[in-house]
């Protein structure tokens, strides 16, 4: 626009306003409104521009008001239109910003949900590795949130931070060997030290991700104690982050109420008592008080079925975020099962075969079988049927669970009922009502599903041409009180178990009581060298097939001949029995401790590597150094032990080579001990050891 003088008319460039407007519209693209301050500044400027334009244009029009030409009229029109245009632009900018903000919020929430579900999935995978119940980590999270939301200082807590910390608190267990995590017995000092590292390792790992500080601090310190002495830092009281104090109580209670490889779940009263006893000692008194007031809500979280009910987050994930482009959904519990099943299958085969191999008694074999089945495949009732070839029928030989007495004498003709049909065609079945298995007069009710698998001696399945053919041992029938309880995964596990159960039961049938005695040391009750020779080839073959190591420990008592010489062989035998019991306690249930002969013992450690074997040797040496045996007259007896080891496949693949290597290593250890003791005795002679020196002190 150009003004020449007061009396001349205006010359107006019509393109300029539209060019400016186009530039302004360019600035209003949604990408420009990522910062709220920029939007507010732009909105304010538009309002100021509209007011300024009105004042200027009205002023100019008033100044030229003496003239009535078209230019003056144009200025009056612009004085009202142009400010209105700026005002519309301001409203448009506000609309774009609001729409962009809502879209960004939705995207942020969706991204947060994805990230949160990813953290949950990883945490549940860690649970699967540790063979913990499905959904256990979600229980820790929900219990932590109950404690946090009802804590007097909840204003200090970040709810999302507490939830994330609860989900990832055990991520450091990725660095702990599975053999330690799933060890059925107690841990050694070295193994405990390894486990204690998981909190610090987990926190260090999380520090590589931009989590809020409370998350990493809670993970690092959730094993600290209120009075101090916890790990990793040993801090106490208020120095422990509040999130960590909450997580400590939640983790402890859920752990007590859950099954572990070394114990079943505790009942609610006992678990609650343990938590309350830690008030002011292990746990923050304020957190324990919140736990006490809301224990009913917490217990309801523990007993609920996570796989069915789930949490709000997991329901959203299952309903939407887990759907792919084709609309297919994936069940979280199925994913968890797929992660844990291969390990469970190997563990089932490993544990059951190891434990049943320890006995040739048919009764003990049945007891071991149904006990270990319960750990891997739940049941209401379990019946082991033996095949009677003379009567072509199945006879219940061992019953566990509900209706034990009623089922104890059941006889099922071959081809009749579910179990009889499985025995006839050797095809396992599940998902069928089990009523045909029970005679009407037994009045067995409440069982709605069954899983039945045949037991056939290995290598003889193809040779069975009729029910009377050798090879069919019987069937294992599991009964449940819920419809459609058993799944394909249960069937796979039971098929593996039945295969090894058939071998163990067949061996128990073949071997008579005298043969059984031949494989047992009559003095200590431990397996003897005959058992070792009969089973070692199968042990090595199984290790080769499943690709796991075996360690052999050869153990010899130091100078035990002196015990026999001084106290007699009868007393020496009694001490040997005690030593046998002591050694048996140092090994896992899956290990085999053998009396090799005289005062020599042999231990077979399946699935144990060299490092773990060395820890076991150290533990045994420490136990013998601390243990004092007593003779019949009360004299204290110290018995030392020398240990050598060999490892399959590292030191060889044949039993002879492995035993020779372990024996050579044991004598090397014995020689080192003798040299050490000789040096110690020479250096430790003092005047107090010689009574004559007291009466005849040396001349000055």
Query: In 380-487, where does DSSP find H-type helix?
Result: 404-407, 417-425
The closest of 263, 132, 183, 178 to 588, measured between CA atoms, is 183
Provide the 3-class DSSP secondary structure of residue 674: helix
Sheet holding 472-480, edge to edge: 411-413, 393-401, 381-388, 472-480, 449-456, 429-430
Please state, as a whole number, how many other Cβ atoms lie within 10 Å of the Cβ of residue 204.
Answer: 13
**Distance in angstroms (rounded) separating the CA atoms of residues 602 and 662:** 9
Q: How far is CA 97 from CA 32, 78, 632, in A?
A: 9, 28, 93
Spans of all domains in the chain: 15-25+34-107, 130-330, 341-514, 519-683
- CATH 3.10.20.600 fits domain 341-514: no
Q: Which tokens go with 68?
A: 């009535």
At 557, which helix (H) or strand (E)? Answer: strand 550-558
* Residue the block writes with tokens 């809020």: 212
Compute mean pLDDT per 10 residues along the chain, 700 residues long, and list them: 37 38 40 46 59 61 53 57 61 66 62 63 63 71 91 87 85 76 71 86 82 85 91 91 92 86 80 92 93 91 58 41 42 50 59 69 83 86 90 90 87 91 91 90 88 79 41 91 88 86 80 63 87 87 89 92 88 91 89 90 91 91 91 88 93 91 92 74 44 40
Q: Specify the pLDDT at position 699.
A: 39
Q: For 524-552, give the secondary structure using H, E and C.
A: CCCECHHHHHHHHHHHHHHHHHHCCCEEE
Buried b (16+ CB within 10 A) or exposed e, 377-412: bebbbbbbbbbeeeebbbebbbbbbbbeebbeebeb
**Distance in angstroms (rounded) separating the CA atoms of residues 44 and 577:** 94
Whether 648 and 669 have beta carbons less than 8 Å apart is answered as: no
Q: Specify the pLDDT at position 131.
A: 54
Q: Specify the pLDDT at position 59.
A: 62
**Distance in angstroms (rounded) separating the CA atoms of residues 181 and 197:** 13
- The answer for residues whose C-beta is within 8 angstroms of residue 378's C-beta and 6 or more apart is 480, 485
Q: Which tokens go with 467?
A: 């029910």
**Distance in angstroms (rounded) separating the CA atoms of residues 225 and 237:** 8
* Residue the block writes with tokens 């190591």: 549
Whether 130 and 144 have beta carbons less than 8 Å apart is answered as: no
Whether 666 and 556 have beta carbons less than 8 Å apart is answered as: yes
**Distance in angstroms (rounded) separating the CA atoms of residues 447 and 433:** 8
CATH T-level assignment (fold) for domain 519-683: Alpha-Beta Plaits (3.30.70)
Phi, psi of 235 (to 5 degrees): -75, 170
CATH no., domain 130-330? 1.10.3210.10
Whether 146 and 301 have beta carbons less than 8 Å apart is answered as: yes
Instruction: Give the active site residue among 279, 284, 556, 599.
Output: 599
Q: Specify the pLDDT at position 175.
A: 78
Whether the bond between 649 and the residue before it is cis, its omega within 30 degrees of 0, is: yes
Q: Specify the pLDDT at position 214.
A: 84
The question of whether 284 is a catalytic residue gets the answer no
Strand partners, 602: 554, 594
3-state helix, strand, coil in the chain (%, to 5): 60, 10, 30
Whether 413 and 392 have beta carbons less than 8 Å apart is answered as: yes
């Amino acid at each position: 626009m150009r003004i020449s003088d007061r009396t001349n008319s205006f010359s107006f460039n019509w393109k300029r306003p539209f060019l400016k407007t186009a530039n302004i519209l360019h600035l209003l693209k949604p990408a420009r409104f990522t910062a709220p301050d920029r939007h507010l500044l732009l909105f304010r400027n538009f309002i100021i521009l509209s007011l300024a334009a009105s004042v200027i244009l009205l002023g100019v029009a008033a100044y030229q008001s003496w003239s009535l030409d078209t230019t003056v009229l144009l200025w009056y029109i612009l004085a009202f239109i142009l400010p209105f245009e700026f005002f519309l632009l301001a409203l448009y900018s506000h609309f774009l910003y609001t729409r962009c903000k809502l879209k960004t919020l939705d995207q942020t929430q969706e991204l947060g949900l994805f990230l949160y579900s990813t953290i949950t999935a990883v945490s549940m995978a860690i649970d699967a590795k540790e063979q913990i119940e499905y959904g256990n980590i979600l229980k820790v999270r929900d219990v932590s949130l109950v404690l946090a939301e009802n804590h007097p200082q909840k204003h200090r807590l970040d709810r999302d931070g507490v939830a994330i910390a609860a989900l990832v608190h055990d991520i450091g267990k990725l660095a702990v060997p599975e053999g330690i995590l799933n060890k059925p017995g107690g841990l050694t000092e070295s193994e405990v030290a390894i486990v204690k590292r998981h909190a610090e390792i987990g926190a260090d790992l999380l520090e590589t991700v931009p989590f809020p500080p409370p998350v990493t601090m809670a993970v690092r310190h959730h094993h600290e104690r209120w009075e101090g002495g916890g790990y990793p830092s040993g801090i106490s009281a208020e120095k422990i982050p509040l999130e960590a104090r909450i997580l400590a109580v939640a983790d402890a209670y859920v752990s007590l109420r859950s099954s572990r490889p070394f114990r079943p779940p505790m009942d609610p009263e006992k678990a609650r008592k343990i938590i309350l006893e830690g008030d002011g000692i292990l746990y923050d008194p304020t957190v324990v008080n919140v736990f006490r007031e809301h224990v009913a809500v917490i217990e309801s979280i523990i007993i609920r079925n996570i796989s069915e009910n789930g949490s709000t987050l997991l329901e959203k994930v299952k309903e939407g975020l887990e759907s792919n482009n084709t609309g297919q959904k994936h069940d979280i519990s199925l994913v968890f099962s797929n992660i844990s099943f291969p390990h469970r299958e190997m563990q089932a085969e490993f544990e059951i075969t190891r434990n049943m191999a320890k006995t040739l008694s048919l009764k003990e074999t049945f007891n071991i079988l149904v006990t270990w089945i319960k750990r891997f495949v739940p049941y209401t009732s379990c019946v082991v049927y033996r095949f009677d070839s003379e009567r072509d029928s199945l006879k219940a030989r061992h019953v566990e669970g509900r209706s034990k007495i009623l089922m104890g004498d059941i006889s099922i003709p071959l081809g009749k009922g579910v179990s009889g049909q499985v025995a006839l065609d050797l095809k396992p079945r599940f998902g069928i009502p089990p009523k045909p298995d029970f005679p009407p007069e037994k009045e067995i009710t409440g069982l709605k599903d069954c899983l039945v698998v045949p037991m056939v001696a290995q290598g003889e399945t193809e040779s069975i041409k009729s029910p009377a053919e050798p090879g069919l041992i019987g069937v294992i029938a599991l009964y449940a009180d819920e419809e459609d309880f058993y799944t394909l995964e249960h069937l796979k596990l039971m098929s593996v178990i039945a295969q090894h159960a058939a071998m163990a039961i067949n061996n128990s049938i073949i071997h008579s009581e005298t043969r059984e005695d031949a494989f047992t040391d009559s003095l200590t009750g431990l397996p003897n060298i005959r058992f070792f020779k009969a089973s070692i080839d199968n042990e090595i073959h199984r290790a080769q097939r499943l690709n796991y190591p075996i360690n052999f420990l050869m153990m010899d008592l130091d100078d035990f001949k002196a015990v026999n010489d001084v106290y007699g062989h009868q007393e020496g035998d009694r001490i040997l029995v005690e030593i046998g019991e002591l050694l048996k306690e140092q090994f896992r249930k899956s290990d085999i401790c053998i009396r090799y002969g005289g005062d020599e013992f042999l231990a077979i450690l399946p699935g144990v590597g060299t490092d773990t074997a060395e820890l076991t040797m150290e533990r045994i040496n420490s136990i013998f150094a601390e243990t004092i045996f007593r003779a019949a007259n009360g004299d204290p007896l110290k018995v030392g032990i020398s240990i050598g080891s060999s490892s399959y496949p590292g030191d060889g693949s044949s039993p002879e080579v492995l035993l020779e290597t372990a024996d050579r290593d044991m004598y090397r250890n014995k020689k080192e001990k003798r040299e050490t003791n000789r040096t110690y005795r020479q250096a430790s002679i003092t005047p107090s050891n010689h009574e004559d020196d007291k009466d005849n002190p040396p001349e000055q």
